[in-house]
Chain A
Amino acid sequence: MSRDGLTRMTKIEVVVSGQDAAAVRELISAVGATGYTGLSGVSGLGHDGYRQGRLLFNSQATLEMLITVVSDDKVDALLAGLRPLLAETSGVLFVSETYVSRPEYFM
C-alpha cells in the first residue's frame, strides 16, 4: 500500500475498566494530544477470560477502549504516564505506527 503524502505518527490504544478511563483520558489531554476516540462497553477474550460488553444498568463496570494518535515527540511522555498506571490496574496497551493525511489535526 502506498503511503505517499501521508505523515507517520504513533497510535496508542488502551483498554481499561470504565473506572480507570478518566485517568487515561486526563493523561492523553495533559501531554498535548489533540483528541482521542473512546469506545465504551468493549467486550472480548483475554488472558483473564471473556469480558462482558455493555451492561444494561451499569455503565461503569465495563471495559473502555481509548485510541489516540500523537506525534513522536509526545509518545515518551504519554508512555511515562500510562505505564505506571497500567502496572497497577488490569488493562492493555498497544503502541503502533500509523499514517495520517492531515497531520495538523494531531499536532
Chain B
Amino acid sequence: MTASTTHVQVAVDPGLASRRARLRADVALAARILATSWPLESFIAVNPLAGLEDRPFTEAVRVAEEAFGARGTLSLDELRAHHGTGRITDSDLRRALLLRFPELAAVTVPVGGTRVPSVDTLLVDLLHAPSLPPPSRSVRTVAEAVPSVAAAVDSQTTKWCAAYLDEGQAGWAMPGNQRGLYAAWRALAHRDRSVPGRVRRELAELPERADDALLAALDRLRIGPDEQRAQLRAELARLPGWAAHVRWRGENGAGVDLLSYLALRMTYAALLLPPGGARHQARSVVGQERSTSGRARFVADRLAAGPPTPEQMSALAAVLDRLPEHERPLVWLEAFEGHYRDELLTRLTGRLLPTSGDRQRPAAQLVTCIDVRSEGLRRQLEAVGPYETLGFAGFFAVAISFTDLAGGAPSALCPVLLKPRNEVKERPVPDGRDTAVRRLSGLRVLAGAEEGFHNAKDAAAGPFALAEAAGWLAGPVAAAKTVLAGPYGRARRGLQRSVVPPATTEVTAMDGFSPDERAQVAEVMLTMMGLTSGFARLVVLCGHGSTTENNPHGSSLDCGACGGSRGGPNARTATALLNDAAVRHCLADVGIEVPADTWFLAGEHDTATDRVRLLDRHLVPASHHGELDGLARDLERAGTALAAERCAVLPGARRSRSARGAARHVQARSTDWAQTYPEWGLAGNAAFVVGPRSMTVGLDLGRRVFLHSYEAAVDRDGAALETILTAPLVVGQWISAQYYFSSVDPQHFGAGSKTIHNVVGGIGVLSGQDGDLQLGLPWQSVGVGEQLVHEPVRLLAVVQAPLERIDAIVARNPVLQRLFGGSWMALAAREHDDDPWQRHTPHGWQPWSRPEGTA
C-alpha cells in the first residue's frame, strides 16, 4: 500500500457489526419464500413463489410444501378425478411420461410370464398406487413447541401490525407510528396488559435497535448461526400474509421492515416460552415414501401377469425408481397441460394467412388489452362486421402518473415492472369549463355526504343518532339493493348522473411527454403490434376495467397492465399522441405512413357488463361521425352476444335468457352488492399467443388465451419481440401463477371465501376476525361451491417468429431462462404459419408432435 493518510475513527465492535449484517442478509434470504403483496386498491396478480423462481418449478414447489405445508399441485385424488371424466387420458399420461423419460420409449420389463412396456408400469403406479399424505411444514418455529405460546405470538403480531399498518380506517392512529414499527412498538409494548408482568418488565428493557433485539431473541432461544436462516424462514412462514405485506410497505417507505417484524415476533417468543421449550422435529414427506420394492409389488399385483421373480422385481423397481412418489402429481400436471396444449396447437395449425392483396380496408380497428377477457370481445366484434382487432398490453406503452379532474393523489397507471415516467392530468376542454364546474361541485356534495355518513357511523354515539335519523331509509334501500339489484342500479346511476354530470374533458398528453417521447411511444406501440400499414379510418385503443359493488378485490378485475386500475386514461393518452400531426410526421420518417383520414379513438371495455364506452367522442372530427355511430352500435351488439356467452358459465345466471336478457342480467349483476361472482375475471387462462391475428381469427378460444399482436416481418432487429417476451409475457405468467396456486391450494395461496372476509385497514382481508392476511385470489375467483372452475395449468407461450430470434432473446435475458428453463411456463414456436410447432427444451427445439409410441 502506498497510501499517504490513514483516517482514524472510533471503531464499532466489529463482531457485533458483522452479526448485524449477517442477520440482515439471512432475513433477506429467508424472505424469498414470501409472495409480493400490494394493498387492496392496487391488487396485482403475482406468482406467490416468485422469490423461488431462480429454482426449477419442481424444486420451488417442494420448498413451498416444506415451508408452508402447502400443496404445489392438485392432489393425486383430484387429478385422478380428471382422469375419470376424460379430461386427462391414458394417452396424455403416456406422453407426459415419455417426455420425461424418452429413453423408456422402447423398453419393456418382464412381469410374470409376459413383458410389459415400462411406461405402462409407471402408468399403473400413477393411476392406482396409494397417495401420499398432504405435505406439512418441515421446520417449525421454536414457539410452536408450546401451542399456546405460538398462538400468543401470532396474536400479538397481528394486533401490532394491524395497528401500525392501518391506512386510515381506524379512528385512532398508533401513537409514535411516525418513528417506525419497532420504535413505536417498543414504546408501547411494555404497557400492554395482555402480557404477564414479568414479560412487560423485560419489554421495558428492549434495546434501541431492532437488529439488536432480534439478535438477543435468537440468543435467548438458543438459535445458532447455522440454523438462524431456517428459523427466520419458519417465523415468516407462520403468518406469510402479514410478513409479505410488511415487506411491501417497507419497500414503499412505511418505516417498517421484516427485521423489525421478526424482532417483534421473536422477542415475544423468547419472553413467553418457558425455559427449555422443546423443538419441533421436521417431518419430511420424503421420509414417508414407500420403498420402491413395495411399489413394484403393488404394480406387479395390479398387472396380474403372474408372480414376478426376484430379478423381475428388481427390473420393475428400477423403472419405478425414476419417478419418486412425490413427483407423481407433476407428471399428472404435465398430462393435464399437455391435453389442452395439444388441442390448442392443433387448432392453430394449417390456417392460411391472407395475402396482402386480399385485404380490404376494415370498417374500424379495435386494439384491446392482451387480457384473456378481450378475446371474447374481439371474436364477437369480428363476427358482427368487417372489423379487425389487435392485442397490446392495456397501458398502451404510456407509463403514466394520472390525476383525474377531481384532483387528489395521482394513480400509477402502468405495469408494476415499471415506475410511471410521465405525468398526465385530466382537464376540461376550452369550451367545457361549465360542465367541469358542475361535475366538481357534484363530486364535492357526494364526498361530503359520504364523509358525514361514515363519521356518524364511526363516532362513539353517532350510530344511535344515525339510526334514528336515517334508519327508516337505510332499511328499504338495503332491501332494494339486495332484491332489486338491476332497477336499483339503474336508479342510482340516474341519480348519480344528475348530481355528478359528465364533464367534457381531455388529457394533457402533450404536456406530459416531450416531443421525442411522443414519437417514440407511437413508434414502439405500432411496431410491437405490427400495425404499421393498412390503417382503418377509425382505430380504437380500448382499455378495460370492471364495475363491481362491495368487492374488496375489485382491482383484481381491472387492468393488470395499468397497475390494477381502469385503463381508459392510458387509452386517452396514447390516442392523443397518435393523433398529433408532429407525431404522424415522425412516424412517416421511419416508414409508418398513417393516412390523414385515420383517427385514433379511446375506449374502455367494462368486463363485468360487456359494454364498451367510447371516450373523448367530442374530439372526433365530424367526417368520422358516421363510422363512429356504426361502430358504437356494433360494439353494443358484440357486447350483448358476449354477455350471453358469459351468462352460460356465470353462477346463478339462467341459461335460457335471450341475448338482451343476458345483457340486462350482467348489468344488474355488476351493481348487486351481494353478488360474489360479478364476473369470472381471468379464470381459465392457459396460453399466451404472440403473433398475427390471422393465427387465431375465427377460433373460439374460450376467453382462455392472452393475445398479443406481433408481425415478425416488421420487427427487423427483434426489439419488439424482446419487449413482448420480457414484459407482457412476464406479467401474463404472474397472472397464470396466481390463478394456478390459488386453485391448487386455496387455503394457503388463496384468500378464502369472500363471504367471511373482513377488510383490515385498507391493506388486505382476513378470513373472519383475526389470523393472517389473505393474499391470493378469493375462492370465488377460481371455484363454485366445492368445485374448481379454473384449470390450474402453467402458461404456454405460443410465438410465431424466427426460432433463432427467440433463442437469442432468451439467451440474453435471465428472466426468460428462469421461466422457460425452470418449467415455470412452456414455449411453443414456429417461424411461418405452415411450419410445424416446435417445443423449446433445454436441449434445443424439438418437434411438438406426440412422441412415438403414444396414440
Interface residues of A (CB under 8 A from B): 3-9, 17, 22-23, 26-27, 30-32, 48-52, 55-61, 71, 73-74, 76-78, 80-85, 88-90, 97, 99, 103, 107
Q: Is B286 close to A, CB under 8 A?
A: no
Q: Is B478 close to A, CB under 8 A?
A: no
B1-21 vs A, Cβ < 8 Å mask (1 yes, 0 no): 111111101011010011111
Q: What are the nearest 10 A-B pairs in CB distance?
A: A81-B21, A8-B3, A57-B727, A77-B17, A80-B18, A23-B28, A61-B815, A52-B812, A81-B25, A58-B417
Closest to A22 in B: B251
CB-defined contacts of A107 to chain B, threshold 8 Å: 7, 9
CB-defined contacts of B524 to chain A, threshold 8 Å: 56
CB-defined contacts of A32 to chain B, threshold 8 Å: 12, 17
CB-defined contacts of B418 to chain A, threshold 8 Å: 57-59
What separation, in Å, do the CA atoms of A63 and B415 have in the docked complex?
Answer: 19
- Which residue of the partner chain, among B3, B11, B397, B417, contacts A73 with CB atoms under 8 Å? B11
Q: Is B444 close to A, CB under 8 A?
A: no
A60 touches B20 (CB 8 A): no
Q: Is B452 close to A, CB under 8 A?
A: no
Q: Is B120 close to A, CB under 8 A?
A: no
CB-defined contacts of B393 to chain A, threshold 8 Å: 57
Interface size range of chain B in the complex = 35 or more
Q: Is B715 close to A, CB under 8 A?
A: no
What separation, in Å, do the CA atoms of A14 and B417 have in the docked complex?
Answer: 22
Total number of A-B contacts with CB less than 8 angstroms?
134
CB-defined contacts of B22 to chain A, threshold 8 Å: 80-81, 84
B25 touches A8 (CB 8 A): no
Interface residues of B (CB under 8 A from A): 1-7, 9, 11-12, 14, 17-22, 24-26, 28-29, 54, 211, 251, 257, 393, 397, 399, 415, 417-419, 524, 719, 722-723, 726-728, 730, 811-815
CB-defined contacts of B399 to chain A, threshold 8 Å: 57
What separation, in Å, do the CA atoms of A76 and B12 have in the docked complex?
Answer: 11
Identify 17 residue pairs between A and B in the complex whose beta-carbon atoms are under 8 Å apart, listed by A's number.
A3-B2, A5-B4, A7-B5, A8-B5, A27-B21, A30-B21, A51-B814, A52-B813, A55-B722, A58-B730, A58-B815, A59-B417, A59-B418, A77-B18, A78-B21, A90-B54, A107-B7
CB-defined contacts of B723 to chain A, threshold 8 Å: 55-57
Further pairs besides A3-B4, A61-B815, A84-B25: 5, Cβ < 8 Å: A8-B5, A57-B399, A77-B20, A82-B21, A107-B9
- Which residue of the partner chain, among A73, A85, A97, contacts B29 with CB atoms under 8 Å? A85
Chain A nearest CB: distance from B474 CB in Å? Answer: 47
CB-defined contacts of B812 to chain A, threshold 8 Å: 49-52
What separation, in Å, do the CA atoms of A9 and B812 have in the docked complex?
Answer: 35
Closest to B257 in A: A26
Closest to B50 in A: A19
B54 touches A76 (CB 8 A): no
Chain A nearest CB: distance from B414 CB in Å? Answer: 9
B17 touches A76 (CB 8 A): yes
A90 touches B21 (CB 8 A): no
B814 touches A6 (CB 8 A): no
Closest to B416 in A: A60
CB-defined contacts of B5 to chain A, threshold 8 Å: 5-8, 103
A73 touches B14 (CB 8 A): yes
Closest to A20 in B: B28
What separation, in Å, do the CA atoms of A99 and B723 have in the docked complex?
Answer: 41
CB-defined contacts of A61 to chain B, threshold 8 Å: 417, 726, 730, 813-815
Known: A57-B415, A59-B419, A61-B813. A31 touches B29 (CB 8 A): no
A97 touches B1 (CB 8 A): yes
Most chain A CB inside 10 Å of its own CB: which residue of B2, B20, B25, B415: B25
B14 touches A77 (CB 8 A): yes
Chain A nearest CB: distance from B490 CB in Å? Answer: 40
What separation, in Å, do the CA atoms of A76 and B1 have in the docked complex?
Answer: 19
CB-defined contacts of B17 to chain A, threshold 8 Å: 31-32, 74, 76-77, 80
A60 touches B24 (CB 8 A): no
Known: A76-B18, A80-B18, A84-B26. A57 touches B811 (CB 8 A): no
CB-defined contacts of A77 to chain B, threshold 8 Å: 12, 14, 17-18, 20-21
Chain B nearest CB: distance from A58 CB in Å? Answer: 4
What separation, in Å, do the CA atoms of A30 and B11 have in the docked complex?
Answer: 15
B1 touches A85 (CB 8 A): no
Chain B nearest CB: distance from A28 CB in Å? Answer: 10
What separation, in Å, do the CA atoms of A31 and B24 have in the docked complex?
Answer: 10
Closest to A85 in B: B25
CB-defined contacts of B726 to chain A, threshold 8 Å: 55, 57-58, 61
B417 touches A90 (CB 8 A): no
Most chain B CB inside 10 Å of its own CB: which residue of A3, A59, A81: A81
CB-defined contacts of B4 to chain A, threshold 8 Å: 3-7
CB-defined contacts of A89 to chain B, threshold 8 Å: 54
What separation, in Å, do the CA atoms of A89 and B3 have in the docked complex?
Answer: 35
B6 touches A8 (CB 8 A): yes
A71 touches B7 (CB 8 A): yes
Closest to B393 in A: A57
CB-defined contacts of A71 to chain B, threshold 8 Å: 7, 9
What separation, in Å, do the CA atoms of A32 and B21 have in the docked complex?
Answer: 11
